[in-house]
Amino acid sequence: MKNFAIAIHGGAGTILRSSMTPEKEQQYTKALNDAISAGYKILEAGGSSLDAVEASVMFMENFPLFNAGRGAVFTHKGMHEMDASIMDGATLEAGAVCGISNVQNPVHLARVIKEKSGHVLLSGGEAAVFAKKMKLPFQPDEYFFNDERYKQWQDVKDSDTYQLDHTDKTETGEKKFGTVGAVALDMNGNIAAATSTGGMTNKKFGRVGDSPIIGAGTYANNKTCAVSCTGHGEFFIRAVVAYDISCLMEYKEMNLHDACNYVVKDKLVKFGGEGGLIAIDANANIELVFNSDGMYRAWKKNNDETQVRIYED
């Protein structure tokens, strides 16, 4: 049997048992199980890694607990500006979108951009025009409204601060880097990656993070690996994290484990970058590495049991 595997993440940060209710933990665990199943079923049936990562990310975009799609946080203007990207490791083709509003599934738009626009990255209002031309589903503002996200915005909307997903006053210091992503290997030996996010609460000036930037938040190359990142985007952009891991494997001949751990736990830490990533190579090796207290994550290889984790241990 040929190897196939998939891994997903739903964000990293200060995620502690002490601040998680049993009900919320159960919700996240079920959502991660369901999200990885959406992609795994495609791989199990002989489908492509590209289809698998898109399906898993779309599930998380539709689940309001994750800061992507329906669960996207509010900007300073009380809007939702979403970013997403997808990359095919077999062809190095990629599609991405930033600053998009009202599109139900930004990662699907990224896929359509890759395949039908002739470009890699589209932004804002003109990206919405393209999405409408492609007849992608849109949703009204009410679809993206979430009481918890709204409260997070209300706490900081009159200030110049932004929040990394959220910092709750009752949970001092809690930071969550709200991004979702998936990486997969299919039976044909092809790998792919996809990432989607709602960005930062109270973000201004059209801020864009690493998620839609190929090489920073997302990268895939059959020769090396597929990577999806979650963290403080400015640092991940400056470190070109996703591509850096691929480069270490290609030019330094590091294995996936060593490359991921060097970038996340050494290089990023040295200049203040917090977060994590998931990665996979053509041999179905999977890495789920983070330098924060936790990361919502799940993985499944061949017919093994699905593994779901939230905390560091």
Outline where DSSP puts E strands in the chain: 5-13, 82-88, 94-100, 121-123, 176-177, 179-185, 191-197, 218-220, 226-231, 275-280, 286-290, 294-301, 307-311
Outline where DSSP puts E strands in 125-252: 176-177, 179-185, 191-197, 218-220, 226-231
End-to-end CA distance of the chain: 32
For the chain, give the number of residues: 313
Q: Which of 14, 167, 179, 201 is catalytic?
A: 179
Contact 94, 88 (CB under 8 A): yes
Q: Which residues pair with 287 in a beta bridge?
A: 279
| Whether residue 224 lies in the annotated active site | no
The rounded distance, in Å, linking the Cα atoms of 150 and 214 is 30
Residue 147's alpha-carbon distances to 15, 64, 67, 151, 269, in angstroms, are 20, 10, 13, 6, 34
Contact 89, 220 (CB under 8 A): yes
Catalytic residue numbers, as ranges:
179
